[in-house]
Structure formats: C-alpha cells, structure tokens
Structure 1
C-alpha cells in the first residue's frame, strides 16, 4: 500500500507540473520533447504498422512521463521508399497512418492534455511521385525548374559530377521522359528541390502555413545541410567533390568530402525565411510561439549560425548532436564535460541549449553506451540547462534489435549488401514500442509487425516498469518532476569532470534550492568531496534522486565531503530545505 501511495503521489505531481514553464519565458525554453516514430509507436487497426489513432490512444502516456511536446516522423502521403521522408503530398495524411480527420482528433486530444504536436518537415526533396516532379519532368511551364536538372556532362549520358548519394551511388539519375539527369542527395525516388527558384521557397512556406493554421506547434526540419548545392558556373555546371583518402569504397557516401553539396551559405537564409513565416503566424494567430527544430550534423561554427545571424532569427532549437555523435564506452568524464561545454561556450548569447541522446537514425543508448548507463544518461539529459529531447523507448531502456539481411527494409541498408548492411541499416532502432508483456508487446492486435519486436519485451515494457520503484521509467518520471523545479528551469549550471570517471553538474539559482548531479561513468568505486569540487555548499545534502544502482535511498542525508558513488551510479543531491 505504501508503494502504491508513492506511485499515486508521483503521478499526481507529474500531472500538476508537466505544463509548468518559467515565468516570462517562451513555453519551449525548458521543455521536454519526445520523438514519436509513428510506424512503431502504436497500431490501432491491427495491420502491424503504427498510425495516428494509435498515437491519440497513447497520448496520456506522454502526459504521464511529463512531456511538453512531441514531434512525429513523417505521416504525409508517400510511396514509402524512405518510410515517409519521400513526400508525395505535403498537405495530406498517408492512408497508412489514417486520415486528416484522425490527425485533427489527435490535435484536439493533445490540446486537452496540454501536449503540443510538432511535424517533421522535409524541405530538401519530394517523392518522384509528387505532382510537382511529374510536371517538372514533363517540362510544365510552372514546374520546369522546381528541381535540379542537368543534360549530362558535355550533353552526354555521363552524370554531371562525381557526387555521391547519402544512400550510396551517384546523386544523379537519368530521366528518359525529360532526357536529363535529376539530382537526389538521398534515394533516387527523392529528387532534390531547386531552392534557387523563388516559387519553390514559397510553395514550401505554404506548407508551413497550412499546418500551423491547423494547430501544430512547429516543425522538426529534416536534413537541412543538403538544401542547397554550390552555385553552378556560367555554363550551368558544377565541380566534382574531392576524395576522402580514408575511405576506399567508391559507392560509399564518405568516399568524398562534401564541400559543394552540404552547408552552403544560402541554406541558412532558407532557415531564416522559414522562421520569419512562423513569426508572422505567431502574430496572425496569437498563439504560443511556434518553433523550428533543425536537424544538421556539422561543424559547430556552422551549426551556431542556425540560431540566427544577429540581425534575423533562425531555428530556436538547432539539434545538438555533440553527445550522441562523440561519446562512447571509452569516454571519460573529461570527454563528457568537453562536449557539453563545446555547445554551451559557443552558443550565441541569449539562445537556449538543447540535448539529444537518441533518434530514429542512431543506435539506442543501451546499444551504444551499455544497458547499465541508461539511467545515467537520462539523468544527464534531464538536468542539463535548456531543452531535452527523448526518442521513444529510451525512457524504458529499449535496445537495438538485430535484423537479418532478409528482414531489412531500411533503404540505407537495402542499397548496400549482406556484408555491409548492419553498419548502415537503421531498422534496429525503429522496432515497435514495448507497451506490455502481452501479445506483440501491446503494440498491435494483429499477427505481424512491420519490424520484429525485441525478444526482451516481457521484461522491458511500460506496464512492468510502472510497478518497479526505481525502474528506468520511474527514474525518468522522477527526473521530470525535478526538471520542473525553478532551479532547473531557470538556474545556472556549473559542469565539470570531478575525476576521470565522475561528471558533476551543479544547478543553482539565488533564493532556490541547489542541486548537485553526480554520474559515475565507469566501474570504479568513487569517493567524492563536493566542497573541494564545487565549494560553498552546505555541510549536509539530501539524496533527491537515486537509481537502482544506488545503495542509498531517496531522503537520506549525507556529508558533502564524503560522498561515495557505486559503479555506474547516478544521483541527484539537494541542499537541505
């Protein structure tokens, strides 16, 4: 009964604080975001593929775990060559996922629960089955220059450049109907739009306007660095890209250095134009601020420009991939501190940091850093200053699922070979969500699923973890309550490596409780003197949060100069109230 009361109290607290934001700041500045991969979240009709109604059915779960906004991977009309990232119609819902009415019901339910819905926006390309491309291939006057076309090097059937697609092979595909090559930086069924054409930019802005007026809170903008290529010369030609001497496979994307096909200056202008459209809609609708989350991997000096250029605003949340891209099993606390400070120290004044440790393209935390670091990483993600982003399933510790070559469906893997596919496929991180220990993990009532379900679903699932005091799920919930404190929403941060294995984060705000986050990254027993590490602390501290690797209990009191951390332990300590 005592445990039940604790859980009910925890749930009540989450319901009370999930919508809390700092006074005088925009709603998103300390928000917790959650990525839903719709194909794998919840299937409502038994076909083995997740859908919009399934998301609506499970929205209360997002409220339960304290999420403020969720972004959905693409749900638009698509032939699914790249599982929705090949959009045929930007203002329709694909029948696989439901109807526009289903989506409107989702928006209404989300509004009722206080959860904002963000859509995935794919500006770089469309599907080759998009009406725009079909008309462009026919030399239609209106759409002729909507895409990047070229007659071939020296007007021959030779590709214009040596450029390589992210999905392997040439970026150029010959179109018999138009008797020209078209550019595709991804799949051949994903022709690149021509942003040198003002009509293209306006068409894409109209997509933003359409969905904002429907009630969405903003957009996660996909593959931004690829939007522009280097300008063609006077003859309409482009230069070849130089070799990467470290890669020997001429089909591999990394075989070349992509100095002409990514991170072109004009790309930033497009992001700034998109933000201006959202600002105009803010004024038109009088709603909460609408936001852009931009996906770009690249040099920090470039990524910081996505925030804006000092004159115009850009993306509020340029995704921060410093940790997800750089930390590994061998990383020390000094490495973690360096990658965290890389972002914080270079971020323009007045902007907000964000932290991403999982998404549908990267191996899961459990596979990348170890199952024994799941809580540790979630503690870090939730206690750093700014915005947190969680990929579905990371809150319960889902892991990658091995997918055979015969079962592989991801085009990035399928376009390789049986020897290389495991390095390239993203299927293992996209498997169905594990709701319970019943039929198909509670994901579907059907007999099949579009990808296999993890074999550990009877142990790793929401239902089971709700009933375990220090499960990954309940640690995550407790972190969300802590995250909604004024100190963590508005306070300053002092982040440092206390030793090679221990990372410390001090969160403080005048007049409020101070918190110390301690992460023991490795397998040594660590003795810590927090007064030596951070100074000016009270002699006694309280354990505010512990994990299942802790010997201490929540509420225990400890001397600041005699903290002992067990292997892979993560704790949060607070000054006494």
Structure 2
C-alpha cells in the first residue's frame, strides 16, 4: 500500500515510487534558452559511453575504431542521444587498453588517424552530437617519452614521476619505501633497474604515476587538454582523479582490518594515496581553464566530469569546495553500481537517491550512472527482467543520465569467455582458477548490431574479445523491428526527458523531505516494483481521487499498453515491472 503524509510519497515493501511535478514553472524567454544551450546544455543530458574497441570495426581487423563510430552516428540520432564520451583513444601499448597512454597527442593506430577523428567530430557536430574525451591524468604508460626521459634523469624530467630509493634491510635486501598497495594487488612500487629507484604505480606496472607536485607536469597536461579542445571536443571525463596526489612523507597506511590478505588493495586504509585535498585545487584550476576557453572560443561550454570512487562528502567537494569555488560540472555518481544490487529493496533505492540530492551543493545538477566498462552490466547485476525498469529509473530521475553502450539493448555480460581468450591484464594475472570473476572482458564484448557474423560488429575471423553468443536473438536490428523492445522503451524515455516537468519540475522520492502541492498540476509518476513477486498497490492518495493515470512508457513484457488508463487504487505490477505514467484529471 502507498499513503501520502504531508505531501510526501511513502513506499512500503518492495516498491519504488518517484514523482515529479511542474510546480508553477514559468516559460523561459528565447534569450534564456539560447544561454542554456551554450552554457547549461549538459544539465539534462544523456551521456552515452562508447568503448571504442567494442563499438564498431570498420576495417575488419576485429577491433572497433573511429570510422566505426562515425558509421553508427545514425544510431544516436534515431535513439535521441546528443552527447557521447569515448574511452581512451590515445596512443598506447594497450596493457590496460588505452588507460596506459604513451602519447597524449596521438591516436592509437588501430583506432584510426587524425583524419578519422576530424571526420568523426565534423559528422557528430552536423548531427547535433557533442563528443567528450576520456582523459587519464594520474599516470601514463612506461613507454611514454616523459617516463623514458625521467628514468634516464634527463634535465627537466627528473621528477616528472614519483621516484624513491626504497629501504635496505639489515640483510642487504632492498624493499619498497613503504607499504602502499596497488589497486591490482601487490606493492604500489616498481623497481626500475636503469634508474636504480622505485617508481610509484597505483595500477599496473606499466602505468607509472605522474608527479603533480612538479609544475612542469601540470603545464604539460594543461597543454594536452587545450590541444584536444582545439580539435573540437566538448570536454573531458577525468579518469581516477582521486589517485592523483599522494602524501609527500611516504607514511605507511594503516590496516583496514577488512581482509587478512597483505597483497589486497583492501588490506589498507588509503588515507595517504587517495582523496587528498589537493585534488580539489587541481580540478578548480582546470575549471578556470575550461571556462576561459569557452568564453574565448565559439561553441558550447566545455565541461568536465570526474571518475572517483570516494565517500559522498569527498565527491561533493568536486562540485565546489566549502568556499564555493567551482570544480567540475559533475562528479560521477556510482551509487547504483557500488551501493545497490539485485537484493536491494525500495528503501535502499530511495535512500541512495535522496542522499545524493541532500548532499549535493545548491545549484548543481545530479547525475546517475548505471554501468561502465569496469563493472558488470545492468542486466547482469540487477537481472535481465529489470532492463526496462532500471532505464525508467535512470531516465526519470532529475538531472544527467549516463548510459554504457549496449545498455539500451539490455546486453549482458559474457562471463564464459575462456582463459585463453581473456585479455584483461588483472584477470590474466590472477590465473585460470580465479580469472573469470576478476575479468572485465565480459562487460566489454562487442556491440550487438544484428544477427550477422560477429553481431555485425566486424567481418574479422576473430574479434579482440569474443562476441556474446546471444547476439542471434539480442541485437539492435531485431529490436528496431520488434513491436516492443528494450531499445524502443529507451527511445521513448529519452523523448520523454524533453518534457519541462522532467527537466525543471519539483522532485519527490519515497519519504523525500520536501512538501510539494500536486493538486491541479500535471505530473509524471514512475512506479517500479523492485521485488521478485507481483505487487498490488494503491497510489490514490498520491494521485488524488480526482485523477487517473495514463501510461506513457511500459516495459517489453508488460501486460499494459501505452495510452492505457489505470485506476490509481488498482495497479498490479509484475516482478521487476516499471511504469511511467502521467497524472491527469478524470474525464467527467
């Protein structure tokens, strides 16, 4: 049952309810609309993450590329996507598939050329699609010219990276300078025979940490960002931002007491290598630089969005600090990945939603991330029955939505990739006994375009990682042709997001502590059953006796149809079913 108390929606049991109301919205003037299109275009955007290796292969080598992305721009036009961000395309030895960069100003040859990139930007711009680049500031590849020069102690590059002598034990054995651990297990220090010192590498051995306490490093990275802004990108997604600074005294980190495995990253409490306050100063510096660039150049406001798995207070400081100094446009909100799963009930969802909105500084845009290249797909985490309802939730929450490629189709992880076909380095490192659940390859499989060879992704005899065999049934072309499909639900939801009520309306979640008078207002109500059993619910107190519900979006397997009217007191939801409805006056 659902009841309303002081204008608040309260869900009891395993149901999640979200409502938005227009609440006396004023029509904006044309000048304000033009201002918003330049400076605030991102505040209600859907950002679509493209993993270039897996999106579309144009030349038959089994690896996705830039021409492949360009060839599929029509997919975004048809779907309603107007902003995409590319996982790294820079030159790289590909030990971590582009997150180990050997030249920030060149494109990885297997992805294409600068001509291909220019073509992508030109065609995307013509189609009304903005392109965001993944930017990796914490570390480079050990094959980068900077690192080679630094290892050789070449003048001007001696301190481009974090170098230390280490310690010598009484028995003459040399050991790392402290107990810091790598995210991928083991010591965070790697011995360099040529320089006769350890270098810090918080990720793989091939990813040495840059030293941002050296002004020359900051200047070099500023120049890289300006270089790509001049190439036409609309901004950057900043990778692993909370690892950029470390304690200068190299203090040992305390034990976390969460595991007894000394090689595990979780063995320590990372108070000296992660989330240091200097991160905020760096982001503020880049914000000023991007704002200045936007003022002095045509085009939209250039933006930053950050990846940083951290506590909520730390993440909120990325928006702005306690003095109101502006940082990034938005830090990624990973709560749907890190805090919720298929065992979460409605109260968990509402708590997570409310927490972000309560902690977020005033005047900023919230965002919601359902999936990415480092975590199992939505359909694999929450269950295949939840694809439509999770997209309904994502798309009707206020602010920004982030979609990982293939989630609009309901793609699932291909967890049965053999060890021989596994290429994700951390998975390879743990060996055949443990690789399957460590590997990130299962969520990086090629995009499933159709039921042709390799899901229409490539004409190669073998793709860089295997295609999920379910592509014969689950693919974009089939979903375009079907009367109902996940893709069509997703398209309907994106179209719905253009409504003023979803962009500027007052927002209420279950027990959300804000009183809103809904009487006489047009409202959108999203109802999601997050349980594995049928639920009969009554929202008549919320909808009020003078109203009924008109269905705007329903799931693939729903018993209901778009346009159907429901009595607020007699709504039956199948397990994991979601409905997006409009509250309107009952005909007399």
Alignment correspondent of 2:202: 185
1:363 aligns with 2:376: yes
Runs of 5+ in structure 2 lacking a partner? 1-32
Distance 1:131 1:551 in 2: 60
Alignment correspondent of 1:122: 136
Alignment correspondent of 1:569: 577
Cα distance change on mapping 1:209 and 1:517 into 2, 3 Å: same
Distance 1:63 1:247 in 2: 48
Cα distance change on mapping 1:244 and 1:417 into 2, 3 Å: farther
Cα distance change on mapping 1:305 and 1:457 into 2, 3 Å: same
SS of 2:549's partner is: strand
Alignment correspondent of 2:11: none
What's the CA shift for 1:218?
0.4
Alignment correspondent of 2:337: 324
Alignment correspondent of 1:9: none
Select which of 67, 76, 85 maps to 2:81: 67
Alignment correspondent of 1:150: 164
Distance 1:244 1:67 in 2: 42
- Given that residues 38 and 300 in structure 2 are in contact (C-alpha distance below 8 angstroms), is that contact kept between their aligned partners in structure 1? no
More contact order relative to length (CA 8 Å, sep ≥ 6): 2
Alignment correspondent of 2:555: 547
1:203 aligns with 2:217: no
Select which of 282, 286, 298 maps to 2:294: 282
Distance 1:63 1:535 in 2: 35
- Given that residues 167 and 411 in structure 1 are in contact (C-alpha distance below 8 angstroms), is that contact kept between their aligned partners in structure 2? no
Q: CA RMSD in A?
A: 2.2
Cα distance change on mapping 1:489 and 1:508 into 2, 3 Å: farther
1:392 aligns with 2:405: yes
What's the CA shift for 1:246?
2.5
Distance 1:241 1:300 in 2: 21
Select which of 360, 368, 388 maps to 1:347: 360
Deviates more, 1:243-252 or 1:151-160: 151-160
Cα distance change on mapping 1:539 and 1:162 into 2, 3 Å: same
1:468 aligns with 2:469: no
Alignment correspondent of 1:43: 57
TM-score, normalised relative to structure 2: 0.90
Alignment of 1:99-498 (within 5 A): 99-153=113-167, 157-232=174-249, 238-309=250-321, 310-402=323-415, 403-496=417-510
- Given that residues 76 and 84 in structure 1 are in contact (C-alpha distance below 8 angstroms), is that contact kept between their aligned partners in structure 2? yes
Alignment correspondent of 1:12: none
Distance 1:251 1:420 in 2: 15
- Given that residues 530 and 575 in structure 2 are in contact (C-alpha distance below 8 angstroms), is that contact kept between their aligned partners in structure 1? yes
- Given that residues 487 and 507 in structure 1 are in contact (C-alpha distance below 8 angstroms), is that contact kept between their aligned partners in structure 2? no
What's the CA shift for 1:537?
7.0
Deviates more, 1:154-163 or 1:357-366: 154-163
Alignment of 1:27-38 (within 5 A): 27-38=41-52
Distance 2:439 2:355 in 1: 29
SS of 1:456's partner is: helix
Q: Please list the CA deviations of residues 446-477 of structure 1 after superposition, one character each: whole Å capped at 9, or x if unmatched.
A: 11100011010011100000012221100000
What's the CA shift for 1:124?
0.1
What's the CA shift for 1:116?
0.4
What's the CA shift for 1:186?
0.5
Give 4+ residue runs of structure 1 displaced > 4 Å after superposition.
19-25, 505-512, 535-538
1:530 aligns with 2:501: no
Deviates more, 1:105-114 or 1:419-428: 419-428
- Given that residues 547 and 584 in structure 2 are in contact (C-alpha distance below 8 angstroms), is that contact kept between their aligned partners in structure 1? no
Distance 2:414 2:329 in 1: 34
Alignment correspondent of 1:560: 568
TM-score, normalised relative to structure 1: 0.91
SS of 2:174's partner is: coil
SS of 1:382's partner is: helix
What's the CA shift for 1:575?
2.4
SS of 1:334's partner is: helix
Cα distance change on mapping 1:327 and 1:508 into 2, 3 Å: farther
SS of 1:281's partner is: helix
Alignment correspondent of 1:83: 97
- Given that residues 38 and 301 in structure 2 are in contact (C-alpha distance below 8 angstroms), is that contact kept between their aligned partners in structure 1? no
Distance 2:340 2:285 in 1: 34
Distance 1:367 1:475 in 2: 19
Distance 2:569 2:93 in 1: 61
Distance 1:510 1:143 in 2: 66
Aligned residue pairs: how many?
Answer: 547
Alignment correspondent of 2:27: none
SS of 1:91's partner is: strand
